Amino acid sequence: MAQDVPTGRSNPTDLGFGVDVGGSGVKGAVVDLNTGSLVGDRIKILTPQPSTPEAVAQTVAQIVERAGWSGPVGVTLPSVVTGGVARTAANIDRSWIGTDARALFTRALGTPEVSVLNDADAAGLAEDRFGAAKDTDGVVVLLTFGTGIGSAVLHNGDLLPNTEFGHMEVDGKEAEHRAASSVKERHDLSYKQWAKEVSRVLVRFENLLWPDLFIAGGGISRKHEKWIPLLTNRTPVVPAELRNAAGIVGAAYAAKTGLTP
């Protein structure tokens, strides 16, 4: 593992704070960085509409204040993030594109220790350190199946940020237009029909990346027993373990370790 978390018994210095900004909700919590588990309640506020940078920053500040937290804060966005700047915006207001998110949150929170990263990258980090891939070396690919498909690629614990494999064209269609869980809902597909599309996407990804393990995240991973056994690709696929806490945990971890993609 490239970046070690503090080890030993929990103490206040082993705590972090993560906020996961999604299209419908902004969720935050204190995280125990020895175990990757949430400490106390997860605070959720509906994503403001329109979800402009200023409005979301105020919501994040409200969550941090409600938790009584001071210290480093990690924030995820459904965006490509380079050097703290959002480069894309999926399911949040387009005015995020080009916004210096790190500077914005630093101002809103009054703390300089802010890390901002892509939502799937945060989930991938969390699963790699604390969840489904904690005992796996080599190349691990986490995919979040939701409104779109988010991706995170790790090699021996090191994150290759902003991979965006959900937008790769697979047989004439973007992967996320084929196999996001929103596609299953929209077209009322059975698990069998949808798993066929997921397999097709996974085969393309594995032929290009040769991962040792795929981790399937997103809400639909809760029903993994209904579809993971139907997949026909060759690389093992396991469900994410941290579920809807993964983004929060990964964000807190990134902030604590100063990870800035």
Query: Minimum distance from CB of 120 to ligand BGC (Å)?
Result: 4
Dihedral of CA atoms 134, 136, 137, 143 in degrees, nearest 10, equals -80
177 or 226, CB closer to ligand BGC? 177
Q: Is 118 in the site for ligand BGC (CB under 6 A)?
A: yes
Neighbours of 75 (CB within 10 A): 34
Task: Give yes or no for residue 150 binding ligand BGC (CB under 6 A).
Answer: yes
Please report how close the Cβ of residue 22 comes to ligand BGC at its closest, in angstroms: 7
To ligand BGC, the closest distance from the beta carbon of 152 in angstroms equals: 8
Element (H, E) at 17: strand 15-21
**Cα 118 from Cα 163, distance rounded (Å):** 10
Q: Kindly state the number of chain residues that form the binding site for ligand BGC, as judged by CB under 6 A.
A: 15
Sheet holding 149-155: strands in order across?
A: 158-160, 149-155, 139-145, 213-217, 237-239
Residue among 136, 144, 221, 257 that touches ligand BGC (CB under 6 A): 144
- Quick one: 24 or 207, whose CB is closer to ligand BGC? 24
Which of 76, 106 has the CB closer to ligand BGC?
76
Could you tell me which stretch among 33-41, 76-84, 134-142, 237-245 binds ligand BGC (CB under 6 A)?
76-84
Residues 6+ apart with CB under 8 A from 259: 3, 115, 117, 125, 159, 253
d(CA 76, CA 149): 15
* Euclidean distance between CA atoms 62 and 184, whole angstroms: 35
- Among 119, 127, 128, 241, which residue interacts with ligand BGC (rule: CB under 6 A)? 119
164 touches ligand BGC by CB under 6 A: yes
Contact call for residue 163 and ligand BGC (CB under 6 A) = no
- DSSP code string of 132-159: TTTT--SEEEEEEESSSEEEEEEETTEE
Which residues sit at the interface with ligand BGC, rule CB under 6 A? 78-80, 88, 90, 118-120, 144, 146, 148, 150, 164, 166, 176
